[in-house]
Amino acid sequence: MALIEIENLSVTFRAKGQEVRAVRDVSLSVGAQESYGLVGESGSGKSTILRAICGMAPVTGGTIRIGGQPVPTPRGRAFSAQVQMVFQDPYASLHPRHTIDRTLSEPLAIHGIGDRDARVVQALTDVGLPPAFRFRYPHQLSGGQRQRVAIARALMLRPRILLLDEPTSALDASVQAEVLNLLNRLRAEQGLTFLMVSHDLAVIDHMCDRIMVLQHGRTVEEIAHADLAAARMTTAYARSLFEASADRMLDGPVEPAR
């Protein structure tokens, strides 16, 4: 049984008096501990799918299941304990007046989980930050450090699933590689399942077992990683994305020096 199941998902907004169909009848399934990528140009609907899973976008058709169960509305604490999201901009997603300690402790307090000090220190260690960082504020950290904190916060409740919305696009190229390698390590160590969004096929190639290509809210094609690496795509749109990212895919992110 798939851990994430989406069947005929549609998301429709109203903007300036007009109806906007952001996602149109998209279906996908993601197995436990799999990393699945959504790729496409801006406006393709990929981020909207993640927001629909979290209850942040209006589902106007179709079904979403986590662990075989339909997601509730509103999502609630049980959903948050299983599914967490990491956003694109780490500075915007962290409260500027909260210390890192407060940011990481807050999910534990909401869910009534004790042993907070030890869990905060462990979370920072897991993402490669020293325990002393817990007493800093977001403006005292670099962009890569802030994104590590955002990842640590997402892992505080020990979820099974991380939804990753362009998690490295706001970072410099060298820092992108470090964060992507961190995510890959955490997935292996903690048995996580990823549903990841990117406009960059090179990032998806580095991270994902299977890929769905989206355009104008519709599925263009689904590609296994081996087929992506061998450029065995069947549509002109997917091939154009591949060709635009081909040089970076050949190089790929590398493990940073220790």
pLDDT number for residue 93 = 85
pLDDT number for residue 173 = 83
CA 71/CA 174 separation, integer angstroms? 37
pLDDT number for residue 251 = 52
pLDDT number for residue 248 = 67
Q: Token pair of 158, please?
A: 């020990």
Q: Among residues 11, 150, 181, which one has the least CA distance to residue 84?
A: 150
pLDDT tens column, 119-141: 999 999 999 999 999 999 999 99
Instruction: Answer yes or no: is 69 within a domain.
Output: yes
Q: Which residue numbers in the chain have pLDDT < 50?
A: 250, 253-258
> Which DSSP string corresponds to 179-206?
HHHHHHHHHHHHT-EEEEEES-HHHHHH
Looking from the CA of 132 toward its CB, the CA atoms found within 13 Å total 1
Residue 207 phi/psi, 5° resolution? -110, -25
Instruction: Answer yes or no: is 238 within a domain.
Output: yes
Cβ proximity of 63 and 15 under 8 Å: no
Cβ proximity of 207 and 180 under 8 Å: yes
Instruction: Answer yes or no: is 208 within a domain.
Output: yes
Instruction: Answer yes or no: is 253 within a domain.
Output: no
Report which DSSP code applies to 21. E
Instruction: Answer yes or no: is 255 within a domain.
Output: no
Q: How many residues in total does the chain contain? A: 258
Q: Token pair of 108, please?
A: 């534990």
Amino acid found at 230: A
Instruction: Answer yes or no: is 12 within a domain.
Output: yes
> Which DSSP string corresponds to 199-227?
S-HHHHHHH-SEEEEEETTEEEEEEEHHH
Instruction: Answer yes or no: is 254 within a domain.
Output: no
Q: What is the CATH number of the domain that holds 141?
A: 3.40.50.300
How many Cβ atoms from other residues are within 10 Å of residue 90's Cβ? 25
CA 65/CA 28 separation, integer angstroms? 11
pLDDT number for residue 258 = 32
- Predicted model pTM: 0.93
pLDDT number for residue 48 = 97
CA 183/CA 208 separation, integer angstroms? 11
Q: How far is CA 195 from the centre of its chain?
A: 6
Q: What's the domain count of the chain? A: 1
CA 189/CA 41 separation, integer angstroms? 32
pLDDT number for residue 16 = 83
Burial (CB < 10 A; 0-12, 13-18, 19+), residue 247, is exposed
Which strands make up the sheet holding 83-86, listed edge to edge?
83-86, 161-165, 193-198, 35-39, 210-215, 218-224
Cis, bond preceding 74 (omega within 30 deg of 0): yes
Instruction: Answer yes or no: is 83 within a domain.
Output: yes
Burial (CB < 10 A; 0-12, 13-18, 19+), residue 174, is exposed
| Domain that residue 34 falls in | 4-246
